[in-house]
Amino acid sequence: MNTPSEPEHDRFPGPDMSVVVGERRRLINLSYRLLGSLAEAEDAVQETYARWYAMSRQGREAIESPGAWLTTVAGRICLDVLGSARVRRERYVGPWIPEPLPDRTEWFSGSAGGGRSEPADPADQVTLDESVDMAFLVVLEAMTPAERVAFILHDVFRYPFTEIAEIAGRTPAACRQLASSARRRVRAEQAPAAPAAGQAALVRHFKEAWEAKDIRALVGLLDPEATMTADGGGLVGTVLRPVEGGARIAQYLIHIADVAPGLTLLERTVNGQPGLVAQHAGVTVTVAAFGRADGRISRIWAVRNPEKLRPWTENAPNGSGGSGGSGGSGGPGGPGGANGLSVAAPQEFSRSQGDL
């Protein structure tokens, strides 16, 4: 869905219009972290502004802090979306992975504060960069909607629990408990921080080994207990269950390289971390994010659902890089896409990892 255009000031008169319009970037940042989907975040922010402009001029003028009002409404909308999303994702075809973001400064810069009135414990803070890391977003998916809202608003955007309570419809004490519970989940799953340069080198070596079809090198780069998860959303073919074990992942990647010789791998920043983009005939078919442990790749998240690849393709010249529709194309997740490339999984993966 297209994002709302900025309204004309004379059409929507009201207080501090530059402030109101200027809140959009922060609201998108907040909503993406709450929902894990750029499309849903844009819809939530569009609905927030629709409610603002639906008020009378007198109603808008009576609001002391437009930014706080917009944040409260956006937070409540996201909370409602999260509740319905849990049901939708239970019916989702295959694993659901958060929508990957390209390297754009608007996702990682700017003030996260929301006019907070209480100091934060440094131990309870998450930076904007950390909060879009794919591994972090995957952990958020395991939280209840209320936990996620309380945690993101407090630990990432530094809102006090008194304000979060207004959004979540809970008491400040209850919101504090929700954020604490969510924080324990994150800490239990969080891998030790690693230098970005080290991860970039690891991803580069992985790319080179894959391109060379060097299975020994791939196995050496993958943790023995590594897991690869692919998300095609039922729109393109892919493995429907995680591929587990470094050796099995390496075998599967070699198979992809064998049957998709035209696949091009590009090093790109994915959600603030080194990742890969796979293209076939100039068409983006997969965006891959990585997690690592003890110097090896421990997780691969391969997003192939074309609806989640829009930020990677919408600005491509002459349609190059477009994700296409359903059909058959290849990428780290397996078959699918609309560019004519058809990738069939080895029989062992069809039997043990789910039909393609």
Q: Taking the CB of residue 50, how many other CB atoms lie within 10 A of it?
A: 11
- Mark which of 154, 189, 224 sits at the end of a domain: 189
One domain, residues 179 and 207: no
Instruction: Tell me, yes or no, whether 2 lies in a domain.
Output: no
* 209 in the same domain as 88: no
Q: Looking at the structure, do residues 184 and 318 belong to the same domain, yes or no?
A: no
pLDDT at 355 over 60: no
Which residue is listed with tokens 């058809």?
Answer: 342
pLDDT digits (tens, 9 = 90+) for 40-57: 999 999 999 999 999 999
Q: Please tell me whether residues 147 and 232 are part of one structural domain.
A: no
CATH assignment of the domain containing 241: 3.10.450.50
- Per the structure, the complete domain to which residue 308 belongs is given by 196-352
Q: Is residue 250 part of a domain?
A: yes
Q: Tell me, yes or no, whether 161 and 232 share the same domain.
A: no
Residue 90, pLDDT above cutoff 70:
yes
**106 lies in the same domain as 211:** no
183 lies in the same domain as 328: no
pLDDT at residue 320, rounded to an integer? 43
Sheet holding 263-270, edge to edge: 243-244, 222-231, 296-303, 283-293, 273-280, 263-270
Using one digit for the tens of pLDDT, what is the confidence trace for 146-168? 999 999 999 999 999 999 999 99
Residue 5 within any structural domain of the chain: no
Residue 12 lies in a domain: no
71, 116: one domain:
yes
Express each pLDDT in 277-330 by its tens digit.
Answer: 999 888 899 999 999 999 999 999 999 999 999 888 865 434 444 444 333 334
| Residue 293 DSSP label | E
Asked if residue 274 lies in contact with residue 135, where contact means CB atoms within 8 angstroms, the answer is: no
Nearest partner of 283 among 316, 237, 239, judged by Cα: 316
Residue 322 belongs to a domain: yes
38 shares a domain with 177: yes
Q: Give the model confidence (pLDDT) of 129-152 as tens digits.
A: 778 899 999 999 999 999 999 999
In a domain, 45, yes or no: yes
Residue 220 parent element (H or E)? helix 215-221
CA angle 76, 82, 87 (to 5 degrees): 140
For the chain, the C-alpha Rg in angstroms (whole number) is 21
Whether 325 and 348 map to the same domain: the answer is yes
- pTM here is 0.80
The pLDDT assigned to 127 comes to 53
Residue 14: predicted pLDDT: 53
How many domains are there within the chain? 2
- 199, containing H or E segment: helix 196-211
Same domain, 202 and 185: no
- Report if residue 11 sits inside a domain: no
Residue 149 lies in a domain: yes
Helix (H, G, I), strand (E, B) or coil at 181: helix
Of 52, 39, 149, nearest to 98 by C-alpha is 39
pLDDT tens digits for range 223-254: 999 999 999 999 998 899 999 999 999 999 99
The packing angle between helices 66-90 and 24-35, to 10°, is 30
- Coil, strand, or helix at residue 291? strand
Question: Are 202 and 305 found together in one domain?
Answer: yes
User: 189, 210, 234 — which closes off a domain?
Assistant: 189
Bigger pLDDT: 319 vs 261:
261
- Domain final residue, candidates 171, 189, 207: 189
